[in-house]
Amino acid sequence: MTTDHNLYPVLGVDPSASGRQITRAHRTLMRRHHPDTRMPARQAAQSNHDHDAALRQVVAAYAVLRDPRRRADYEGFR
Per residue of the chain (78 residues), what is the pLDDT tens digit? 434 579 999 999 999 999 999 999 999 999 998 888 877 766 666 687 888 999 999 999 999 999 999 999 999 887
Which residues neighbour 55 within 8 Å (Cβ) at sequence distance 6 or greater? 30, 33, 34
Helix (H) or strand (E) holding 8: helix 7-11
Which residues neighbour 39 within 8 Å (Cβ) at sequence distance 6 or greater? none
Displacement of CA 11 from its chain's centroid (Å)? 4
Q: Quick one: pLDDT at residue 43?
A: 64
Per CATH, domain 7-77 is 1.10.287.110: yes
Picking from 56, 57, 59, 38, the residue whose alpha carbon sits closest to that of residue 48 is: 38
